[in-house]
Amino acid sequence: MSSASEQIVITGIGLMSPIGIGVDSAWDSLLNGQCGFRPVEHLSYVGTPDCIGGEVTDFTDSSAKKQHLKAVRKQIKVMCREIQLGVASALQAITHAGVDLDAVSSDRIGVDFGANLMSSPPAVLIDGAVQSIDEARHFDFSKWGLNGGDRFRGMEPLWLLKYLPNMPGCHIGIALDARGPNNSLTQDEASGGLVIAEAANIIRRGRADIMVTGTTGTKLHPVKACQHKKWDVLAEGPADQRCRPLDSNRHGEVLSEAACTLILESRSHAEARGAKIYGTILGTGASCVNSADGQADETQAVQLAAKMAMANAEVSAADLGHVNVSASGHLTRDAFEAKAIRTLLGDKAAETPVTAPKSYIGSAGSGSALTEIAISLLGLQHDVIPKTLNFQSTDDCCALNVVGNEHLATDNKLFLKTSVTRMGQSSAVVIGA
């Protein structure tokens, strides 16, 4: 049984990302400074400039999916792509961690998974929508609920199960026979830090020995891309130069998809089975700041969450080896987060290295934060802080010590990860790699 004071460690990483599937492929891309942006293949059309985005390219045909989802092959047809990516990352992480499922009680393995709300593609709903048109050729919402049975024969029979955000955790629990605590969070990009916090506390309370801790998300979707085209500015230009977080010439986000799973264990359990340890969860924090009229304060949210995480970890700004930020190239939101980091670091702001992994992977909603943590962990396995792609000149409103040009050698393996949503939800994690 674990105790409240026991360290929680990371023993496995499962990665389904635009820069590669698995840690080896992703590290090759990082090492060579290659982003994951290219013309989208798995959709006939997506509303991004030139149909370019951050796609998991080796997960586009049925044979590739079956390869990564062997344990749940029969269930693939009732999983939308986001769920498939999340489940595949979890199965990969268990293998990467070297967990012998027969040697661990099923009741001692839990799942904590984050996801966005999942949207149905228009083609899935069109037949049902046609059945709900009245004589005047207007859509009648009352008919949508009433015209069930045969009149909705065009709808997928298990439509609802295919797009529920709690289904990644369900499928993972079934595939691994994980009968411990199982929970799902839908806090957009803040989900990554939140699932880590919750999973770590479950282990500390003695409710599980292993927690399969992950997130999956996409903005590279026929419906979601339209939404983000309305809400955000999407970057244009050459694909490998589009995403420029914190740079003075940044001009928007690149939409993407990603899923990442981290295997968390108590240090004693990991050491007892001889597991390799990739990092230690030292502290977590969360915050949500909104005014009475619904205006988010992303700056204060990041500041509060990060301050809490650092207090829990009992570290100061002087202890940090780097900060891994959620900056995406957004013209205003990058500045909000940068202001929070500057305030948090104080006198150390000019010298503490900062990296922005979205320059490689783009914006994947809930799938972003853990993927970005994995990027820092991979870099620190090789004693470097990954550089931020396309960073050329400092913006006064984003004045941070951004790692650009080349990866930065380091022997300080302690880092802070911040995440924030447009709604003012923020999470933060302090990790020692």
pLDDT tens track for 46-103:
999 999 999 999 898 888 788 899 889 889 989 999 999 999 999 999 999 999 999 9
CATH code, domain carrying 33: 3.40.47.10
Higher pLDDT, 155 or 194: 194
Look up the domain containing 136 and give its range: 124-152
410 to each of 9, 52, 350, 351, 378, how far by Cα in Å? 21, 34, 17, 13, 13
Domain count, the chain: 3
Query: Are 241 and 349 in the same domain?
Result: no
pLDDT tens track for 358-368:
999 999 999 99
Q: Which residue has the tokens 């460690």?
A: 9
Give the pLDDT of residue 73: 87
Query: Are 173 and 219 in the same domain?
Result: yes
Give the pLDDT of residue 149: 42
If we measure between CA atoms, which residue out of 176, 189, 190, 182 comes closest to residue 213? Answer: 182
pLDDT tens track for 23-59:
999 999 999 999 999 999 999 889 999 999 999 998 9
pLDDT tens track for 360-395:
999 999 999 999 999 999 999 999 999 999 999 999
Interstrand relation of 414-420 and 322-324 (parallel, antiparallel or unpaired):
parallel
Give the separation between CA 161 and CA 258, rounded to whole angstroms.
20
Query: Are 87 and 180 in the same domain?
Result: yes
380 to each of 151, 230, 421, 431, 433, how far by Cα in Å? 57, 37, 26, 11, 7
Residue 2 lies in a domain: no
pTM: 0.95
**Mean of all residue pLDDT scores within the chain:** 94
Residue 46 lies in a domain: yes
DSSP 139-199: B-HHHHHH--GGGGTTS-TTHHHHT-TTHHHHHHHHHHT--S-EEEE--GGGHHHHHHHHH
The DSSP symbol for 98 reads T
Helix count (H) and strand count (E) of the chain? 14, 16
Residue 277 lies in a domain: no
Give the separation between CA 384 and CA 407, rounded to whole angstroms.
6
Query: Are 220 and 138 in the same domain?
Result: no
pLDDT tens track for 139-157:
888 877 666 444 555 677 7
Give the pLDDT of residue 146: 66
